[in-house]
Amino acid sequence: MSQNAGQVFTREFLLEEVWGVDYFGNLRIVDTLIKRLREKFKSLNIPSNINTVWGVGYNE
């Protein structure tokens, strides 16, 4: 289990952590990447614990 389980991460936070503060683009790229991660987990029969917190971001 993650040490941050239950903590909600905003799209802005995730973008800054992955691409840095200089990222220029649409925040919705995070949604697309989360979708791809979920699909990849599913294809490998790995349970995905990534939850969408509507209007905020994602958590585990």
Q: Domain containing 35 — which CATH number? A: 1.10.10.10
Structural domain harbouring 25: 9-59
Whether 21 maps to a domain, the answer reads yes
Whether 54 maps to a domain, the answer reads yes
Token pair for 19:
């691409």
Ranges 2-6, 31-35, 46-50, 55-59: which has the least confidence? 2-6
> How many domains are contained in the chain?
1
Sheet containing 51-53: order of strands:
9-10, 57-59, 51-53
Query: What count of residues does the chain have?
Result: 60
Whether 1 maps to a domain, the answer reads no
**pLDDT per residue over 4-40, tens digit each?**
767 899 998 998 888 887 777 787 888 999 999 999 9
In this prediction the pTM is 0.77
**60 in Cβ contact with 6 (< 8 Å):** yes
Whether 22 maps to a domain, the answer reads yes
